[in-house]
Amino acid sequence: MTEIRRATEDDTAALVEVLAWLPIRSRVIETSPEGDLQVNKDRLRNPYWCTLVAVDPDSQRVQGAAVGYDSRYFESATAHSGTPPIAKLEDLAVQSEYERKGIGANLVQAFEEWARSRGCVRVEISGGPKPAFYEKCGYERQSPFFRFVKNL
């Protein structure tokens, strides 16, 4: 059974491998001055960000990843708005050979648990090539432009 856990700095190479193919660059991946892709390690340590990995317990191979944040991340530099916090799932990726094995759904569920633990009242997902997957996970489509919402 796949283990879902918070990513660590030891997972950076695997995160680049899993997330680099996304059509829109992951907010946890950045380009180094030398032009190489690398993980923004500050985001791995930041409590407002959640980067999860799905790991095969036998091989320790990273099978997928989810990246998101608590909306208070953007409010931390300014005054808190006073509105209930929401979590935004920015990236979800599963290695092609592990698709359709429940790993994506497990990553979404683990992200929702993280959001609940932070007091977030809902999760929002913007974008993504598989709207039926998000609906199967209990998300409601809010617009024709692939915005999905789930109240926690």
pLDDT at 39: 86
Instruction: Please check whether residue 70 is in contact with residue 120, taking contact to mean a CB–CB distance below 8 angstroms.
Output: yes
pLDDT score of 5: 97
Residue 135 three-state SS: helix
Count up the domains in the chain and report the number. 1
Task: Confirm if 54 and 8 have CB atoms less than 8 A apart.
Answer: no
Question: Given this model, what pLDDT does residue 76 score?
Answer: 58
Residues 6+ apart with CB under 8 A from 125: 88, 89, 92, 134, 139, 146, 147, 148, 149
Question: Does the global pTM surpass 0.85?
Answer: yes
Compute the distance between CA of residue 150 and CA of residue 139 in angstroms, rounded to an integer. Answer: 5
**Per the structure block, which two tokens stand in for 60?**
């320790």
Taking the C-alpha atoms of residue 16 and residue 14, their distance in angstroms, rounded to an integer, is: 5
36 conformational bin, left if phi > 0, alpha if psi -120 to 50, beta if neither: beta
Per-residue pLDDT of the chain (152 residues; tens, 9 = 90+): 899 999 999 999 999 999 887 767 677 888 888 888 888 888 899 999 999 999 999 999 999 999 999 998 876 555 556 778 999 999 999 999 999 999 999 999 999 999 999 999 999 998 666 788 999 999 999 877 778 999 99
DSSP 46-92: -TTEEEEEEE-TTT--EEEEEEEEETHHHHTTS----SPP-EEEEEE
Find the domain containing 40 and state its range. Answer: 3-151
| pLDDT at residue 151, rounded to an integer | 97
- Both tokens of 9, joined, read 């700095």
Distances (CA, A) of 71 to 12, 47, 88: 24, 12, 7
pLDDT for 129: 62
The domain that contains 101 carries what CATH number?
Answer: 3.40.630.30
